[in-house]
Amino acid sequence: MNDTPSKTPRELKDKKAAKKGLSFVLGFMIYAFTTACVLFGLAFWWGANQFNSAGDLAQTKNITIERGTDLTAIAHKLFSEKAINNPYIFIFGTRISAAQDKLQAGEYEITPNISPREIMVKMRDGDTVKRQVTVREGLTSYEVVVLLNAQDDLIPRRSKTLPTEGSLLPDTYRFQKGEEVEEVIVRMEAAMQKSIDNAWETRAEGLPFNTKEQAITLASIVEKETAVPDERERVAGVFINRLERGIPLQTDPTVIYAITKGVHKNDGKGPLGRRLLRKDLQYDSPYNTYKNAGLPPGPIANPGEASIRAVLNPEKHDYIYFVADGTGGHVFSKTLAEHNANVAKWRKIRREKAH
């Protein structure tokens, strides 16, 4: 016989009501959750659609994002420039793409009807407006700074101290609007260091100098002596022969540097503003290689990579003289008699050109 007390009709009714109420609550929660999921899904779909949809920008516009600008500020700047229609869509899409910490500063070209997502990708990849300046081989540090300071979109260098002569690698360098000249110079210095380090590893044996700075010094002389690519190794070989035999280098560009200290004139008449005179060859300076044997105390310009490699792997020959041949190149000789004859020919060509 079951001795469990039986429930009264009221208790049974209350229990039934409780179950019904619980079912209602659970049903409502499921309904609410489902509705929320649907609404969230619709909102997510709408936001994603807006993030990938074309904007209303009618004309190409360049927009600059300053360093240190956070995602919210970037979104509102794009909105104020009418590049996007809703800053919160840009924030939403960028966060969903996990790119909020990858957006880069710089100047960006925003084209008509570009989508917020395309703008985000541009900024994530650093696809900035490309500006560039070409620094040709053989410029002095003074001339390089003058060139960079003349670029409209670069902030001029404030320091009056010039970069060390020979420390800047000539090349084409990209920069961003509003960047400082000093930042470009730092990149040039790093490029020169990398260049000499790499070239030094493959240098020929038995060279008559021991340091990378001396290599750059000789390279700067080669750079100033010839602009003909095929001549660099041969000209370098002439100077190597002279150094090995203790013969002064006797190169005009070192005299010009001794007189100007690299602060060259730019009036179309050469770095001195005139021709180099015979009396200039007696100018008292350790840079004057007519009066002093061996290398000068430092570079006389900023040589290019080809000239650096030329002096580290010079052509082997017996030439110790060279002079201009009137065509832009040089004629080489092994004896003083040959050289004097070549000089006479050059002087005749120069006189004929003057008339």
For the stretch 71-105, pLDDT in tens is 999 999 999 999 988 999 899 889 989 998 999 99
Nearest to 132, CA basis, from 154, 163, 111: 154
pLDDT at residue 292, rounded to an integer: 95
The pLDDT tens digits for 231-287 are 999 999 999 999 999 999 999 999 999 999 999 888 777 898 888 899 999 999 999
The pTM assigned to this predicted structure is 0.77
Maximum CA extent, the chain: 142
Of the chain, the end-to-end C-alpha distance in Å amounts to 142
CA–CA separation, 51 and 299 (whole Å):
56
Say which range, 20-24, 53-57, 319-323, has the weakest mean pLDDT.
20-24
Q: H helices within the chain, ranges in order?
A: 9-52, 71-80, 87-96, 116-125, 141-149, 181-201, 212-225, 232-245, 252-260, 305-312, 336-354
Cα 134 from chain centroid? 10
Task: Report how far residue 288's alpha carbon sits from residue 295's, in angstroms, rounded to the nearest whole number.
Answer: 10
Contact 228/328 with Cβ under 8 angstroms?
A: yes
CA–CA distances in Å: residue 32 to residues 20, 135, 251: 18, 68, 90
Cα(281)–Cα(338) distance, integer angstroms: 22
CA dihedral of 304, 308, 311, 315, whole degrees rounded to 10: -70
The C-alpha atoms of residue 242 and residue 224 are separated, in whole angstroms, by: 17
What is the distance between the alpha carbons of residues 10 and 243, in angstroms, rounded to a whole number? 119
pLDDT tens digits along 284-333: 999 999 999 999 999 999 999 999 999 999 999 999 999 988 888 899 99
